[in-house]
């Protein structure tokens, strides 16, 4: 089976491309060309049936929601509820990051029940099972890692985070520089430890062609993980981050040449004034590949409110080139998010994505804002609710107020500026 990028290069417009073009309100031939160039991806495994969504240049900014069990908190029904809540409030993708329970059964259920694309980080499962057997990370067998990638591809995973850019060379820049927070990526830290304790190169980099062969067979989109991303504002745009990015640019080219769709993951913590430059640098070095960012989180000083911190950074990032925002919840840095955290994280990221889409004039964002603005002037509360990012909350606040049955709100009452302006 040819992949979406291979078909696009051959001039073939697939059924998936037609669906995306219609939903995004873009010309299908333009879309095909962008996919051929690798600037847009359609993450859809041939074994996963769901309404397709594309990520990349000129399209609506997408949002991902992470979930999954942990060693300390393993309640699968709760994770399924989180998934449903995330999708209900606008998540375009789900990543299963489970590290507790029967990981393959959990992933299979999520793939079966998800109506959006599903992503994973395969090294989590391998490392979890290894530690459960009482073994150490240095005993990880690379063959188990490649086997896990293939198992997940067969199961129907649409995109996989693979930390292929953590190499001996990129790690050398980390070791010859000072960092406040070191490595905060779980995958990056696991690979660094394995490499150092075994004195070997990262197998995901060294045997990258094996990954490409597996992903091509199932049309899995590779999400090149940022294993050396900054975990503190003070570490942003340092040598290690940029060194890894250079490697990822090379791997983007190799994936495209092989007919595999690919996107690149970006920084976590970063001061506001560095975001624009980072987005442009990434796009330049990685051939305009779709960019997937966590946050960025623009301050380290707001635990409990990091969904707001991430939304601020996400808006700026998406204005300047980020295509895919990984949500941040209020639980970030503190604990496993609960259902309420998931809802708040998705909504915060949706607000960030929409705010950027307004600036970039994509996805009908301006039409939506114009509609709700006109509804406000018309005191058309129902239209306001329907066009809100969270209609349930908007309706709830109005209906629970003392002015629930009136055309004005309790803020202004009969001093309502709109009513007085319209009466003249």
Instruction: Say whether 360 counts as a known binding-site residue.
Output: no
* Residue 226 annotated as binding site: yes
Query: Residue 409, annotated ligand binder?
Result: yes
End-to-end CA distance of the chain: 67
Annotated ligand binding at 95? The verdict is yes
185 is in an annotated binding site: yes
Q: Name the H helices within 2-102.
A: 4-9, 15-24, 28-37, 76-88
CA pair distance 226, 219, nearest whole angstrom:
22
Residue 229 annotated in ligand binding: yes
**What's the CA gap between 243 and 173, in Å, rounded?**
7
Is 228 annotated for ligand binding?
yes
At 235, list the tokens.
Answer: 């570490």
12-19 own/partner pairs: CB under 8 Å, 24+ apart: 16/42, 16/44, 16/52, 17/42, 19/51, 19/52
**Residue 14 contacts residue 35 (beta carbons within 8 Å):** no
Q: Which of 384, 326, 385, 383 is nearest to 352 (CA)?
A: 326
Is 74 marked within a binding site?
Answer: no
Annotated binding residue at 292? yes
Helix (H, G, I), strand (E, B) or coil at 292: strand
Contact in structure between 98 and 68 (CB atoms under 8 Å)? yes
Q: Are strands 291-294 and 93-96 parallel, antiparallel or unpaired?
A: unpaired
To the question of whether residue 408 is assigned a binding role by annotation, the answer is no
Any binding-site annotation on 150?
A: no
Q: Is 158 annotated as a binding residue?
A: no
416 is in an annotated binding site: yes
113 is in an annotated binding site: no
Please tell me whether 66 is known to bind a ligand: yes
Q: Does 366 carry a binding-site annotation?
A: no
**By the 8 A CB rule, do 229 and 185 touch?**
yes
Q: Which residues are annotated as a binding site for [4Fe-4S] cluster?
A: 409, 412, 416
Binding site per annotation, positions for Zn(2+) = 269, 333
Report the binding-site residues for substrate.
66, 95, 124, 163, 185-187, 226-229, 265, 292
Residue ranges for the known binding site are 66, 95, 124, 163, 185-187, 226-229, 265, 269, 292, 333, 409, 412, 416
């Amino acid at each position: 089976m040819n992949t979406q990028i291979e078909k696009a290069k051959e001039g073939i417009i697939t059924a998936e491309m037609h669906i995306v073009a219609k939903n995004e309100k873009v010309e299908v031939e333009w879309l095909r060309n962008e996919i051929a160039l690798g600037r847009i991806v359609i993450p859809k495994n041939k074994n996963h049936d769901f309404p397709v969504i594309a990520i990349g240049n000129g399209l609506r900014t997408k949002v991902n929601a992470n979930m999954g069990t942990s060693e300390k908190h393993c309640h699968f029904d709760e994770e399924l509820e989180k998934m449903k809540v995330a999708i209900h409030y606008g998540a375009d993708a789900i990543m299963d990051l489970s590290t507790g329970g029967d990981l393959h059964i959990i992933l299979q259920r999520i793939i079966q029940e998800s109506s959006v694309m599903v992503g994973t980080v395969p090294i989590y499962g391998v490392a979890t099972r290894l530690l459960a057997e009482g073994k150490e990370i240095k005993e990880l067998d690379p063959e188990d890692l490649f086997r896990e990638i293939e198992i997940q591809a067969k199961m129907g995973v649409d995109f996989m985070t693979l930390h292929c850019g953590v190499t001996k060379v990129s790690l050398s820049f980390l070791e010859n520089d000072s960092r406040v927070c070191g490595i905060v990526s779980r995958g990056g830290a696991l690979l660094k430890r394995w490499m150092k304790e075994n004195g070997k190169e990262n197998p995901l980099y060294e045997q990258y062609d094996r990954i490409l062969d597996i992903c091509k067979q199932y049309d899995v989109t590779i999400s090149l993980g940022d294993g050396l991303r900054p975990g503190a504002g003070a570490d942003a745009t340092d040598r290690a981050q940029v060194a890894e990015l250079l490697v990822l640019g090379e791997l983007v080219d190799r994936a495209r040449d092989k007919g595999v769709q690919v996107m690149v993951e970006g920084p976590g913590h970063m001061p506001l004034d560095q975001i624009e430059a980072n987005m442009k640098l990434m796009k330049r070095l990685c051939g305009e590949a779709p960019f997937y960012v966590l946050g960025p989180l623009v301050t380290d000083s707001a635990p409990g409110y990091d969904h707001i911190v991430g939304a601020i950074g996400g808006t700026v990032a998406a204005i300047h080139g980020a295509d895919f925002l990984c949500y941040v919840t209020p639980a970030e840095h503190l604990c496993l998010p609960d259902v309420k955290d998931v809802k708040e994280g998705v909504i915060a990221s949706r607000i960030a994505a929409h705010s950027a889409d307004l600036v970039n004039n994509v996805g009908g964002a301006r039409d939506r804002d114009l509609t709700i603005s006109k509804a406000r002037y018309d005191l058309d509360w129902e239209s306001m609710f329907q066009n809100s990012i969270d209609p349930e909350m908007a309706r709830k606040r109005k209906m629970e107020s003392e002015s629930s049955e009136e055309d004005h709100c309790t803020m202004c009452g009969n001093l309502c500026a709109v009513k007085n302006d319209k009466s003249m």
